[in-house]
Amino acid sequence: MELNYCRRCGTQLKRTAQDIYACQNGHTIYANAAPASSLWIVNDTNEVLVAIRGREPGLGGFDAPGGFNDGAESFEDAIAREIKEELGLDPDDYTKPLYLLSAIDDYAFAGEEIKVLSPVYWSKLIGNPVITPSDDVAEARFIPISDLNPNDIFFDAPRAGFIALRDSGLYNK
């Protein structure tokens, strides 16, 4: 991420370190990664819910449902909101999300690469709620965990999270 002007006073910024900028008025600006949360949902037959991306980056690729955190939103609140927006599911349709891992993803947006801090969670689906793909999810489908090729998952963090989930066997308990 390249920063040019101070968001506090509008003067020109100078890079002082890899992700640190300063202006002539002494303001320090950090180019922090943008937070985005995702959730792998597993049903009672050990199938994982895969979101098919409906827009770039990764149009048509596999992904975990989720997305960018809004404002001062916690990871858990972002998951609940994103799962509602993308799949029409409420938090009582799945168990409390459990943390798997976090990683840094690159997200191409408007001609720039944005660093994204991506915690990945998982949960179990409760019952058989209606799943309605919306927002940037073109399609949602369950795939047996043993059949999902991690290389088909577009982003690095959800891919790593899926591998951690698959290899842990947590979904069988």
Give the list of residues 6+ apart from residue 110 with CB closer than 8 angstroms, or none.
none
Residue ranges making up the domain that contains 28: 1-32
Examine the domain organization and report whether 88 and 121 are in the same domain.
yes
Are 17 and 75 part of one and the same domain? no
Q: Mean pLDDT for each consecutive 10-residue tract of the chain (173 residues)?
A: 88 93 95 95 97 95 97 96 98 98 92 92 98 97 98 97 96 82
Question: Model pTM?
Answer: 0.90
pLDDT digits (tens, 9 = 90+) for 36-45: 999 999 999 9
**In a shared domain, residues 54 and 125:** yes
Q: Quick one: pLDDT at residue 124?
A: 98
Q: Are residues 24 and 102 in the same domain?
A: no
Clarify whether residues 4 and 17 are in a common domain: yes
Do 28 and 113 sit in the same domain of this protein? no
Residues 6+ apart with CB under 8 A from 17: none
Of 71, 2, 11, 77, whose CA–CA distance to 39 is shortest? 77
Cβ atoms of residues 121 and 98 within 8 Å: yes
Please write the tens of the pLDDT for every residue from 41-81.
999 999 999 999 999 999 999 999 999 999 999 999 999 99
Report the domain count for the chain.
Answer: 2
* Pair 39, 20 in one domain: no
